Amino acid sequence: MTALVETRQLHTHYGQSHILHGVDLAIGRGEAVGLLGRNGMGKTTLIRSIMGHIRPTMGQIWVRGQDCGKAPPYRISRLGVAYVPEGRGIFPNLDVRENLLVSARPGYDGRQDWTYGKILGVFPRLAERLGHGGQQLSGGEQQMLAIGRALMTNPDVLILDEATEGLAPLIVAEIWRIVASLRETGIATLIVDRNYRKVLAHTDRCVVLEKGRVVAQGVSAELEADAGVLARHLGV
């Protein structure tokens, strides 16, 4: 499988702190990949390195076969990678409609599958709140808006970092329903979430990080059945 996004022997530092230690990761077209690990193990650092928010100190990042180790975030985005960060990052001074339309553009190959109307169909809660400012939305509505805004870029890869954190159970179930439906559209996903069982259930493969190193990886169903791996690296 040709990787849309790939890291090779990636090392990243925060100041003097060495966070990532030679991480290899690949996301193929249409593939759902989970990124697991306890808090502080380097998951968000890996994502931010891929997206160009942090420059790695060693190793390579490839997007669509292009060397992007020193690329700025806008270039990664234009290559078809969308990012829903932990904390959502919506624009509080814009209303729902403006938050969506500000990111609307064709995909890398010119596709416009994710239109404004389609987003409102997938997220009917947003359709009821078009005139509400970002700061007026509930946490769950903000998360839906953040995902909808990312989809308005018509991406080939969608990265979700803790998309269900702090949300009510009914909203969490709705977010996972949306994640499941995305797999059917052919969009590749990289998913980070504290609920490792949900990640395993909604992905093809998973990679487990511990102290910035890949310590386990494989088919999600096989990892789920390996209680020893889960206990050793996830503390469950």
Report the C-alpha gap between 125 and 225 in whole angstroms. 37
Mean pLDDT of 218-225: 93
- Residue 231 confidence (pLDDT): 85
- Residue 212 confidence (pLDDT): 96
Range in 57-71, 163-177, 203-217 with the lowest mean pLDDT: 163-177
Range in 12-16, 25-29, 210-214, 225-229 with the lowest mean pLDDT: 225-229
The alpha-carbon radius of gyration of the chain (Å, integer) is 17
- Residue 227 confidence (pLDDT): 83
Band of residue 32 on the pLDDT scale cut at 50, 70, 90 = very high
- Residue 236 confidence (pLDDT): 55
150 pLDDT above the threshold of 90: yes
Mean pLDDT over the full length of the chain: 94
Mean pLDDT of 216-230: 91
Report the C-alpha gap between 103 and 153 in whole angstroms. 6
- Cβ-Cβ contacts under 8 Å for 23 (sequence gap 6 or more): 7, 9, 10, 11, 42, 46, 59, 209, 212, 213, 214
Question: What pTM does this model have?
Answer: 0.94
Burial of 22 (0-12, 13-18, 19+ CB in 10 A): middle
CATH number at residue 190: 3.40.50.300
Residue 39 structural domain: 3-234
Token representation of residue 35: 């990124």
1 pLDDT above the threshold of 70: no
Mean pLDDT of 91-99: 95
Domain count of the fold of the chain: 1
